[in-house]
Chains A and B, each alone.
Chain A
Amino acid sequence: MKNLKLKSARAAKDMSQQALAEAVGVSRQTINAIEKGDYNPTINLCVAICKAVDKTLDELFWD
């Protein structure tokens, strides 16, 4: 399932996938895979992404 919340949160911060990837220390393709719903990140990566886009875990990863 696509993670549109992450995509919109990233866009709201005016961040590209590459910028977010560099901020959390992963490859751009990993961010792309998360947004497309092809990869379920670990809790550590979820927390790092939330900090980078100023959102909570609930807001981004909880349905």
Chain B
Amino acid sequence: MLDNSNFYYGLGFLCGFVAVAIAGLIISIVRKKKNKENTQPYYDERQNIARGKSYQSGFFTMVGYYLVYAILDVFGITWCENFVGVILGILIGVGVFAVIAINNDAYFALNSKKKQLIGLFVFIIICQIAGSIGNIINNEFIINNKLSLNSINLFVAVLFIIILIAIFVHDRHLKQEELVETE
């Protein structure tokens, strides 16, 4: 049975997803009408293969995580609320995919606006950290010795920080590689 706070949190979560989906749909329709050319991200053949391998790694990491999570649950070791455990698995899978794809230069499409996307990631990190600080101050981070729903903000922030670090490290490596190529 859901208690009231969980029900409203879940409802809020669902509303957030629906709002983002509707906003995304509207933006894509407007962009398509304004710009008749293809706005779909374009990856070259090597990038597509690298992305496939990255997805595979992300997927198997996620499977491994859920296996460990399920085994711990069988032994009665519960360190977080179920919802947090599930979301954490998704975040870990996405993180593994992103880092491997970035390392193989297959994360950003050839026609993507990288700086805009990085700006968006920074904005997401700031929002999530702000939310986390509020939750920590209000002692809503850990409830009944378990990570509560409110801890998700921090994990999302950590995921995007890891992605940003991977992007900057890879860009540095590319710059060095370009220097070698021009010499």
Is there an interface contact between B181 and A30, defined as CB atoms closer than 8 Å?
no
When distances are taken between beta carbons in the complex, the residues of chain A under 8 Å from B177 are: 32
List 28 interface pairs A-B (beta carbons < 8 Å), by A numbering.
A16-B181, A16-B182, A17-B181, A25-B44, A25-B110, A26-B45, A26-B110, A27-B44, A27-B46, A27-B47, A27-B105, A27-B110, A28-B178, A29-B46, A29-B105, A29-B174, A30-B44, A30-B45, A30-B46, A32-B177, A32-B181, A33-B46, A39-B46, A41-B45, A41-B46, A42-B45, A44-B45, A45-B44
Which residues 19-60 of A sit at the B interface, judged by CB distance below 8 A?
25-30, 32-33, 39, 41-42, 44-45
Number of A residues contacting the other chain (C-beta, 8 Å)? 15
Which residues 131-183 of B sit at the A interface, judged by CB distance below 8 A?
174, 177-178, 181-182
Is there an interface contact between B45 and A45, defined as CB atoms closer than 8 Å?
yes
Question: Chain A nearest CB: distance from B38 CB in Å?
Answer: 13
For the residues of B in contact with A, the DSSP-based class is helix
When distances are taken between beta carbons in the complex, the residues of chain B under 8 Å from A41 are: 45-46
Is there an interface contact between B182 and A30, defined as CB atoms closer than 8 Å?
no
When distances are taken between beta carbons in the complex, the residues of chain B under 8 Å from A26 are: 44-46, 110
When distances are taken between beta carbons in the complex, the residues of chain A under 8 Å from B178 are: 28
Question: Chain A nearest CB: distance from B42 CB in Å?
Answer: 8
Which chain A residue has the least Cβ–Cβ distance from B182? A16
Which chain A residue has the least Cβ–Cβ distance from B49? A39
Assembly CA distance A8 to B182 (angstroms): 14
Assembly CA distance A28 to B175 (angstroms): 12
When distances are taken between beta carbons in the complex, the residues of chain B under 8 Å from A28 are: 178
- 10 more contacts with CB within 8 A, not counting A39-B46, A41-B45, are A16-B181, A25-B44, A26-B110, A27-B46, A27-B105, A28-B178, A29-B46, A30-B45, A32-B177, A41-B46
When distances are taken between beta carbons in the complex, the residues of chain A under 8 Å from B174 are: 29
Question: Chain B nearest CB: distance from A48 CB in Å?
Answer: 11
Which chain A residue has the least Cβ–Cβ distance from B181? A17
Assembly CA distance A30 to B110 (angstroms): 11
Assembly CA distance A26 to B44 (angstroms): 5
Assembly CA distance A44 to B46 (angstroms): 13
When distances are taken between beta carbons in the complex, the residues of chain B under 8 Å from A27 are: 44, 46-47, 105, 110
Which chain A residue has the least Cβ–Cβ distance from B42? A25
When distances are taken between beta carbons in the complex, the residues of chain A under 8 Å from B110 are: 25-27
